[in-house]
């Protein structure tokens, strides 16, 4: 069978796998975003025991354990607790929690780079702590987090290919099926998969770059981003 014919006939399968990859990426980032903000706020504004609980059991664990091990722990470990979850859900939980540990650092650095004076100013206007965070701190922190969050998007999208290991039929597994079914050129099939990943990463980063340019404040970004990058490493 002609190599180009193999790709053409397998294109619907690759596109189906791409859709699953995009779904995985969306859920990884969404779960990581929600938990990441909560963890970041807990580390900045929470009491000491909350900070310790966030840093040691959660952030350190999910940042230290390899992604593939996390996938196996959630997928095969769920049966130990007599819980039946699908491979897709196991992947979302494992990679979403891992993304949360990294996004928490991104948001924490952004929040700390804003400075305490804005919190004091909001409180002086009659806002309570929650209102100050919601209407003053978080909008600025989210805007400052866009460049780092773009990197997280690229990392999470590429890491979604690891869901192949627990049986999720995403882009890479669809490519493997095409090779096995047609005895085709594996290099060509995986090159097409690599091209699809490249397009997804490039397109996503361009969208986030556009958002960054749209919401940036001239003359204000450099100092804030420098402080944020330092604080993310702490």
pLDDT for res 35: 95
Check whether 4 has a pLDDT greater than 90. Answer: no
Residue among 54, 32, 64, 55 at smallest CA distance from 153: 32
Structure tokens belonging to residue 36: 């990441």
Lookup result for tokens 């891992």: 98
How far apart (Å, rounded) are the C-alpha atoms in residues 12 and 108? 42
**Tens digit of pLDDT for each residue in 224-234?**
555 555 555 55
Contacts of 193 (CB under 8 A, 6+ apart): 14, 171, 172, 175
Q: What is the largest CA-CA distance in the chain?
A: 74
The pLDDT > 70 percentage for the chain reads 91
Taking Cα atoms as reference points, which of 170, 145, 159 lies closest to residue 232?
A: 145
The C-alpha angle 89, 138, 145, rounded to 5 degrees, equals 70
For residue 199, give the nearest of 230, 164, 158 by alpha carbon. Answer: 158
What does the pLDDT read at residue 40? 93
Interval 155-166: pLDDT, tens: 999 999 999 999
CATH class of 23-169+217-232: mainly alpha
CB neighbourhood size of 135 (10 A): 12
Q: What is the DSSP letter of 46?
A: S
User: What is the reported pLDDT for 231?
Assistant: 52
Give the per-residue pLDDT at 234.
56
**pLDDT given for residue 232 in this prediction:** 54
- Angle, CA 131 vertex, CA 34 and CA 129 arms, to 5°: 95
Query: Which among 10-14, 23-27, 123-127 has the top mean pLDDT?
Result: 23-27
pLDDT beyond 60 at 10: yes
H or E segment and range at residue 160: none
Q: How far is the C-alpha of 55 from the C-alpha of 58, rounded, in Å?
A: 6
- CA 96, distance to chain mean position in Å, is 7
Q: How far is Cα 229 from Cα 226, in angstroms, rounded to an integer? A: 5
Q: Using an 8 Å Cβ cutoff, are 28 and 95 in contact?
A: yes
User: Could you state, in order of their start, the residue ranges of all structural domains in the chain?
Assistant: 23-169+217-232
The predicted-structure confidence for 158-211, as pLDDT tens digits, reads as follows 999 999 999 999 999 999 999 888 876 888 899 999 999 999 999 999 999 999
pLDDT at 37 over 60: yes
């Amino acid at each position: 069978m002609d190599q180009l014919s193999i790709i053409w006939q397998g294109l619907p399968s690759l596109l189906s796998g791409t859709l699953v990859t995009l779904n995985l990426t969306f859920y990884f980032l969404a779960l990581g975003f929600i938990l990441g903000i909560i963890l970041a706020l807990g580390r900045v504004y929470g009491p000491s025991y909350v900070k310790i609980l966030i840093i040691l059991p959660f952030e350190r664990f999910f940042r230290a354990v390899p992604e593939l091990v996390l996938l196996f722990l959630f997928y095969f470990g769920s049966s130990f607790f007599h819980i039946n979850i699908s491979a897709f859900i196991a992947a979302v939980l494992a990679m979403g929690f891992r993304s949360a540990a990294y996004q928490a650092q991104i948001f924490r650095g952004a929040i700390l780079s804003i400075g305490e004076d804005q919190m004091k100013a909001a409180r002086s206007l009659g806002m309570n702590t929650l209102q100050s965070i919601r209407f003053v701190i978080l909008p600025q922190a989210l805007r400052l987090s866009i460049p780092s969050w773009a990197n997280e998007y690229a990392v999470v999208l590429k890491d979604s290919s690891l869901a192949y290991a627990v049986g999720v039929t995403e882009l890479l597994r669809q490519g493997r099926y095409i090779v096995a079914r047609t005895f085709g050129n594996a290099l060509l099939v995986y090159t097409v998969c690599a091209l699809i990943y490249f397009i997804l990463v490039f397109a996503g980063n361009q969208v986030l770059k556009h958002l960054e340019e749209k919401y940036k404040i001239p003359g204000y970004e450099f100092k804030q981003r420098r402080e944020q990058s330092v604080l993310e490493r702490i």
